[in-house]
Amino acid sequence: MFFHRLKDYLSIQKQGVQSQLDGMRSCVYYSNWSVYSRKHFPDQIPLEYTTNVFYAFFNVDPLTGEVKLSDSWADLELPIESHFAENGRDTTTCTNDGLIATMFALKKLHRHVKVSMSIGGWSNRDSFKEGLSTDEKLNRFVNSAVELMLLYGFDGIDLDWEYPETHHEISKYVLVMKKLRLKFRNIEELKGLKMDTILLTMSSPAFIGMLSTFPVREIDRYLSFWNLVSYDFAGEWSETTGYHCNLYKRSSTLMSSDELCADDAVKYLIKKGIDSTKIVLGMANYGRSFTMTGGLGHPFHGVGDGSSDEKGIWSYNKLPLPGTKEQYDEQCVVAYCYDSKSKTFVSYDNPESVKKKGKYVHCMKLGGGMWWESCGDCYDDPSRSLIHNFVESIGGVQVLDQTNNLSTEVFVNSEFLISKNLV
């Protein structure tokens, strides 16, 4: 066993994880809280247009470092009747207890859909920091994450620490990735899987000020691909209103010195030697609002209530605001609307912007696109759906990655899946 681990270690150090891309990726985050006020369930995800789902979120215990469920009732107990379509027909209806079992049932019917467990999220950032603060906690994190991945039948792990800041925190984060990849290599050898079949991804910052503090070449050795968080460029923390998901910057005469854009981050990673096909461009299924403002680039006072339980956040399917006209900034590749009565400005992606981003992905030879989050799209109107328009802009479903997810044989020892009659 020692020599096998040494071989895996040396192979990672020599060449790292190579791009496994067999087509373009169309990825989406699914949050386990979206079943509540938003009434959004896994079978509403457009699976034909989706290759990867990131199930959000698992939490980190700051005291022990162990990875744990964030909502055990929604994850394991909530009765869910799902209607899974296959080949354009509604072929089966099944009832599962909990979202995780539902996700596994989804995987079995749609073999091209890979489902990863996503650990962290913005609200769990401090727990991540404390949970990796010692070697003992870090090892517990790695071991418990892999145990849960195998128990619940996931195809991989997505790390979403937003974001490590100090050199110590970053080094611990990189060590987690390395240890996870070594664990995955051992599982792959044991199960007879092709090397690097198990997915390891991270939510990557898309601003160079932070990216420049990350050892991106070393991180890339362990990752299957990068989920570039190329949104949230502006918000309640900003000094003036701005676009939150723009591809390019404004003209120099209008641009503030600290303005961010997705293009800068993509080109930075490529310049650092990252294979462009391992970069997945993040897009937003929501808008960010600013209130009491004269428009773009103006001061503001507050962000308003929004359409969700988070202030200043508007689900894309609620935009443009009632009584406003949707506008499109061709230079920056982003949409916006402005309510002159309430003096509310909202920036977001729309069909026109994601089509342009799709052409950008194709031109830059990127690996595909990713959305936060699935509940915000317009599934009842394909002409307005961001996921639908993006996939069509890169060539349609026929260009998407069709690699199979992990088969049930990998999880035959899972007591959880056995109890659900899923293996």
Distances (CA, A) of 221 to 9, 120, 218, 270, 295: 11, 21, 5, 14, 43
Beta-carbon contacts of residue 59 (< 8 Å; ≥ 6 apart): 67, 68, 69, 70, 119, 120, 124, 127
Q: How far is CA 61 from CA 55, 66, 126, 151, 301, in A?
A: 18, 5, 10, 19, 36
Q: Is 169 exposed, middle or buried (0-12, 13-18, 19+ CB in 10 A)?
A: middle
In angstroms, the CA 138 to CA 163 distance is: 16
CB-based contact 387:49 (threshold 8 Å): yes
**CA 275 to CA 232: how far, in whole Å?**
24
> Does residue 187 contact residue 198 with C-beta atoms inside 8 Å?
yes
- Residue 77 is a catalytic residue: no
Placement of tokens 């997505």 in the chain: 158
Would you give the DSSP letter of residue 293?
-
| Catalytic residue (choose from 66, 86, 136, 162) | 162
Question: Rounded to an integer, what distance in angstroms lies between the CA atom of residue 157 and that of residue 149?
Answer: 7
Q: Distance (Å, rounded) from C-alpha 43 to C-alpha 221?
A: 34
Question: What is each CA distance from 26 to 8, 64, 175, 289, 402, in whole angstroms?
Answer: 29, 35, 28, 26, 11
- CA nearest neighbour of 128 among 57, 182, 45, 196: 57
Could you list the active site residues? 162
